[in-house]
Chains A and B, each alone.
Chain A
Amino acid sequence: MPGQLHRQAPGNLDMELANAQSQDGESKGGVLAHLERLEIQLSKSHKKLEEPQREQAVESALGTKIHKLRLLRDKLSAEVKQRQARVKVSAANVEPDQTLEISEQEILERKQENVKAILQAYRFTGISGKLTSRGVCVCISTAFEGNLLDSYFVDLVIQKPLRIHHHSIPVFIPLEEIAAKYLQTNIQHFLFILCEYLNAYSGRKYQADRLQSDFAACLAGPLQRNSLCNLLSFTYKVEPKDQSFPFCARLLYKDLTTALPTDVTVTYRGTDASATTWEEQRAAHEHMFFTKPLHQVFTSFARKGEKLDMSLVS
Chain B
Amino acid sequence: MRRDPAGNVGRAKEMDETVAEFFRRTILKIPITEMMAVLKAWDFLSENHLQTVNFRQRKESLVQDLVLLCEEKRASLNDAALLDIIYTQFHRHQKVWDVFQMSRRPGEDIDLFDMEQFKSSFKKILQRALKNVTVSFRDTEENAVWIRIAWGTQYRKPNQYKPVYVVYYSQTPYAFVASSLLKSNLPLLGQALTVASKHHQIVKMDLRSRYLDSLKAIVFKQYNQTFETHNSTTPLQERSLGLDINIVDSRIIHENRVEKERIQRVTQEIFGDYPQPRLEFAQYKLETKFKSDLNGGILAEREEPLRCLVKFSSPHLLEALKSLAPAGIADAPLSPLLTCIPNKGMNYFKIRDK
A interface residues, Cβ below 8 angstroms from B: 116, 119-120, 122, 128, 130, 132, 137, 139, 153, 155, 166-168, 171-172, 224-228, 230-231, 233, 252, 254, 256
Q: Judge whether B228 is part of the interface by a CB distance below 8 angstroms.
A: yes
Near A by CB (< 8 A), chain B positions 212-231 give: 219-222, 224-225, 227-231
Q: Check B221–A228 contact: CB distance below 8 A.
A: no
Instruction: Report 13 cross-chain contacts, Cβ distance below 8 Å, ordered by A residue.
Output: A120-B231, A130-B228, A130-B229, A153-B229, A172-B170, A172-B171, A172-B172, A226-B171, A227-B113, A227-B172, A228-B113, A231-B112, A231-B113
The CA of A233 and the CA of B113, in the complex, are separated in Å by 11
Question: Which chain B residues border A227 with CB–CB below 8 Å?
Answer: 113, 142-143, 169-172
A224 touches B228 (CB 8 A): no
Q: Does B247 contact A (CB under 8 A)?
A: no
CA distance A120 to B229 in the complex (A): 8
Complex Cα–Cα for A62 and B229 (A)? 81
**Complex interface: chain B residues within 8 A of A116 (CB):** 230
State whether the Cβ of B125 lies closer than 8 Å to any Cβ in chain A: no
- B21 interface hit (Cβ, 8 Å): no
Determine if A166 and B230 form an interchain contact, defined as CB atoms under 8 angstroms apart: no
**Interface pair B229/A171, CB less than 8 Å apart:** no
Q: How many residues of B contact A (CB 8 A)?
A: 25
Contact with A along B94-110 (1 / 0, CB 8 A): 00000000000000001
| Chain B, interface SS category | loop
Contact of A168 with B225 at beta-carbon distance under 8 Å, contacts A116-B230, A119-B230, A130-B230 already known: yes
Q: Which of A137, A226, A230, A252 contacts B227 (CB 8 A)?
A: A137
The CB with the most chain A CB atoms within 10 A, among B174, B220, B229, is that of B229
> Beyond A166-B224, A167-B221, A168-B225, is A224–B114 a contact (Cβ under 8 Å)?
yes
B220 touches A171 (CB 8 A): yes
Q: How far is the CA of A271 from the CA of B230 in the complex (A)?
A: 60
A226-B172 in contact given A119-B230, A171-B220, A171-B221 (Cβ < 8 Å): no
Q: A172-B171, A227-B172 are in contact. Are A252 and B224 (CB under 8 A)?
A: no
Min C-beta distance of B197 to chain A, whole Å: 11
Asked whether any CB of chain A lies closer than 8 Å to the CB of B116, the reply is: yes
Chain A residues lying within 8 Å of B171, measured Cβ to Cβ, are 172, 226-228
Contact call A226/B225, Cβ cutoff below 8 A? no
Beyond A226-B114, A227-B113, 19 additional contacts (C-beta under 8 Å) are A119-B230, A120-B230, A122-B230, A137-B227, A139-B229, A153-B227, A155-B228, A166-B224, A168-B222, A171-B172, A171-B221, A172-B169, A172-B171, A172-B172, A224-B116, A226-B170, A227-B169, A227-B172, A256-B110
B114, B169, B171 interface centre (most CB from chain A within 10 Å): B171
Residues of A within 8 A of B220 (CB): 171
Q: Given contacts A171-B169, A171-B172, is CB(A155)–CB(B142) below 8 Å?
A: no
CA distance A128 to B227 in the complex (A): 13
CB < 8 Å: which of B111, B114, B170 contacts A233? Answer: B114
Tell whether, in the assembled complex, residue A225 and residue B143 are in contact, meaning their CB atoms are under 8 Å apart. Answer: yes
Q: Is B115 an interface residue (CB 8 A)?
A: yes
8 A Cβ contacts from B104-141 to A: 110-116
Instruction: Tell me, in angstroms, the Cα distance from A116 to B143 when the chains sit together.
Output: 38
Q: Is the CB of A137 within 8 A of B112?
A: no
Find the B residue at minimum CB distance from A155.
Answer: B227
Give A227 to B173 CA distance when docked, in angstroms: 12
A252 to B111, CA, bound (A): 11
Among B113, B229, B231, contact of A226 (Cβ-Cβ < 8 Å): B113
Tell whether A132 pairs with B228 under 8 Å between CB atoms, given A171-B221, A227-B171: yes
How far, in angstroms, from A233 to B118 measured CA to CA in the complex?
14
Contact of A166 among B112, B114, B116, B221 (CB under 8 A): B221
Closest 8 CB pairs of A and B: A153-B227, A172-B171, A226-B113, A119-B230, A227-B171, A171-B220, A166-B224, A227-B143
